[in-house]
Structure 1
């Protein structure tokens, strides 16, 4: 394995990037936005729908099927990723298929058409951050899948679970990517399910926090897609940014366990506009703007070039009820009055 740092001239990098970004946008990887609602000052859902439509945002992630937030999407042609809350996993896992059917009908399909639902994200960051629910994860997923099979929706709705990047015990360099061995008794059957059903591995990736916590080893430009050099050569693949490197680490980790070809969907990624060091509108635009551009142009990653990565940017609005540090409250792309925090385009 060859690992080294290599500087290249800016014109060469620009030519490389131009060639990557010149792919046709036909069949571009979808770009969505997370609609977090841990706040006391959010605009009414009707105003949110208008905001999304006027900005060309056609895919949204809801962290739970909150009726007030979900029902306004009915008939809007906005595609949805809907979270199945961690706390409901034991009920679904221990229940019958009919239990899952009734839950889906009463909490989701009674309020929006199944044709708008693209994903069910069963649990959020369960394996390491909420381990009490971990034993229920795969059984709940299997029961939900059998329920959507019963409804004839298994070809249009994909089921998976969203994971923190910390389920990787090693991610640098990407080719050494490996999962935390402690979670493999649950993760292995989950990966088997994903392969059998053609569903993606869902991951939450935040180069911002990687930079903040590892400034000795990670440059800000590497985290922001602004590096003027190839920072890493690994297995003859060159990396100029942490986003690509992290996704490829997940791909290598899955291959290490014998699971090739499973797609990766980034269910959360973003950059804060405030809260402390390295936050700000310029950096948020640099990061999120590049994430969108790369998805729309199907740039892919060094290991999977030309395979666009579907992403959900975090977050639609700042969430003043968030805990976990000041940064957490400042990921909003839009102000509560509907104005953009920075000039990002979604198409």
Structure 2
């Protein structure tokens, strides 16, 4: 048996080692950024890579598997979420796992090593923008998952499909969160697949749209995490619209029997100009608070201590965006690589 003195010495050394290790909150989640490319004036990929590394950004979402973009990230150590274009889904759904395997090889893994791919986003906002493709989402995901299984990548690369917040027919209060009944035939098998594959529910959340569309009921401070007021919902206290929006999805999934499925926010942001309340100051307040929430691991009132992985939109302004003017002004960085506002990503 060890002597008390030896035991104390060993314990002291262990405590000293623990003190020297970097602190990492158990619920901390990564903060990534979306790399939108609907513009004709973006800097070349090498400068983009340099910008990302100098700012400690190691998680990027790209919206389609462009070969030159993938090649530019190869070997950089930066992790990617790669989007599958909506129009490809019918072929992936009909072609089976063999076709899905070949598609992955030809369009992604031929240009970048699989170790840099964290997520594959199968389509984007299908139900809002391209409902024609809705029946193809789950079959396409199933085939892609089986292809990843065959390649022993199903545990390291997760599959999901990002949805707009409008898939909820009721989102306020959060405890009333309910999926639109018109999509019930899609959402249940979709959630079942996420549950079986231990993949996250991906959602694009923009409190900016909620504020500008309902400013009579949603205060700017509540949307920007600056509210000194709070509202109670079933014993839970909400101080900002972001947490309330996320938890509405948690409740909605619980209603369908899938309350264990994790949530990640694949797009969120605030414009710097071009619309009501669009300013550098407000963009800094919103994105800064979202990023701090993720890295602190605080979670939401419904899921405390479980940090939400988020991807901020957008890396640069995109002058090729259509629609309202503010759509072109979500960029966090200027074209010369300097920050529009000072935000921390870790």
User: Considering the TM-score relative to the shorter chain, is it more than 0.5?
Assistant: yes
1:112-127 to 2 correspondences below 5 Å: 112-127=112-127
Is residue 2:108 matched to residue 1:108? Answer: yes
- 1:317 is matched with which residue? 316
Distance 1:331 1:205 in 2: 14
Distance 1:276 1:73 in 2: 34
Distance 2:142 2:216 in 1: 43
For structure 2, the residue ranges without an aligned partner over 5 or more in a row are: 1-22
- 2:17 is matched with which residue? none
**Which stretch shifts more, 248-257 or 89-98?**
89-98
- 2:248 is matched with which residue? 249
CA contact (8 A) 2:27 2:307 kept: no
Distance 1:157 1:277 in 2: 39
Distance 1:115 1:260 in 2: 29
Larger Rg: 2
Matched residue pairs, number? 324
- 1:129 is matched with which residue? 129
SS at match of 1:149: helix
Distance 1:338 1:285 in 2: 17
Distance 1:320 1:339 in 2: 18
- 1:338 is matched with which residue? 337
- 2:15 is matched with which residue? none
CA contact (8 A) 2:269 2:283 kept: yes
SS at match of 1:61: strand
SS at match of 1:96: helix
Structure 1 length-normalised TM? 0.92
Distance 2:196 2:135 in 1: 20
CA contact (8 A) 2:203 2:263 kept: yes
- 2:206 is matched with which residue? 206
Is residue 2:39 matched to residue 1:46? Answer: no
Distance 1:24 1:57 in 2: 17
CA contact (8 A) 2:28 2:296 kept: yes
Cα deviation for residue 263 of structure 1 reads 0.4
Distance 1:71 1:181 in 2: 42
**Per-residue CA distance 1:148-182 (angstroms, 9 max, x = gap):** 00100001000000000000000000000000011
- 1:192 is matched with which residue? 192
Distance 1:67 1:296 in 2: 31
- 2:225 is matched with which residue? 225
CA contact (8 A) 2:27 2:299 kept: no
Cα distance, 1:27–1:255 mapped onto 2, change above 3 Å: closer
Cα deviation for residue 128 of structure 1 reads 2.6
Distance 1:291 1:170 in 2: 23
- 2:238 is matched with which residue? 239
Cα distance, 1:181–1:269 mapped onto 2, change above 3 Å: same
- 2:266 is matched with which residue? 267
Cα deviation for residue 282 of structure 1 reads 0.5
Cα deviation for residue 26 of structure 1 reads 5.5
SS at match of 1:195: helix
Distance 1:95 1:275 in 2: 44
Distance 1:193 1:96 in 2: 16
SS at match of 1:104: helix
**Which stretch shifts more, 201-210 or 68-77?**
68-77
Distance 2:40 2:25 in 1: 38
Distance 1:245 1:291 in 2: 13
- 1:292 is matched with which residue? 291
SS at match of 1:140: helix
SS at match of 2:244: helix
Distance 1:173 1:92 in 2: 38
SS at match of 2:33: strand
